[in-house]
Amino acid sequence: MLYVLLMAISFAVDAFAVATSTAIATPGFRKRDALKMGTWFGAFQFFMPLAGWLLATSLNQYIVAFDHFIAFGLLAFIGGKMVWGSFDKTCEVGSADLSAKRLCLLAIATSIDAMAGGVSICVDSAAGSFAITASAYIDILLACAVIGIVAFALSYVGGVLGKRLGCLFQKRAELVGGLVLIAIGTKILIEHLTSGT
């Protein structure tokens, strides 16, 4: 569960950053705006890992021999991109547009990495056996719920505190999130290589 929680926090960093920058850029930003953003981001962060998990389980017979390399590659790429972005001195300020269309696009953009997370959860579960049982479905739904709730909470907090936090905090959060994803990908790779699976 700690693994899922760390992954959830890492995936929520993008949503937090977008919520923070949107709050900074929106005059008269209110708590209900933060709640709206949190709901959109949390919902997409719930469904994207589930979609990634379903995709990975349906293709398991083709990827089982090198699944750990896929998980490592995806997480290392996403994490590396986040680390690289954390050194960018410019602060991306979000649009003041809080329409449903805009929030939907932002939610998709900030949850794509969670789909890759769903793939890595599939790879890491059941020692690569990909057994599709009732227990496996419960596990993935629980993981998705944790990811979605964390994304909602951090997005809401980012929106509420956005005007006070500023760009420096946003970049540090992105750096930490990226390093955590790389560490999780490395853990998956090492465990699978040393166990011979």
What pLDDT score does 67 carry? 63
Domain layout of the chain by residue ranges: 2-195
- CA dist 118 and 14 (Å) reads 17
Q: Is the pLDDT of residue 89 over 70?
A: no
Give alpha helix (H) positions in the chain: 2-25, 31-58, 60-63, 67-86, 100-109, 112-124, 134-195
| Alpha-carbon span 133 to 54, nearest angstrom | 13
Supply the pLDDT for residue 117. 75
pTM of the model: 0.69
Tell the residue number behind the tokens 């993008």, with chain if given. Answer: 14
Mean pLDDT in the chain? 77
- Is residue 123 predicted with pLDDT exceeding 60? no
Ranges 47-61, 78-92, 99-113: which has the least confidence: 78-92
- The confidence score (pLDDT) of residue 124 equals 58
Average pLDDT over residues 52-63: 74
Tens digit of pLDDT for each residue in 128-149? 444 455 677 778 889 899 999 9
What distance in Å separates the CA atoms of residue 152 and residue 129, rounded to the nearest whole number?
32
What confidence score (pLDDT) does residue 134 get? Answer: 63
Query: Cα torsion for 148, 31, 100, 103, to the nearest 10°?
Result: -50
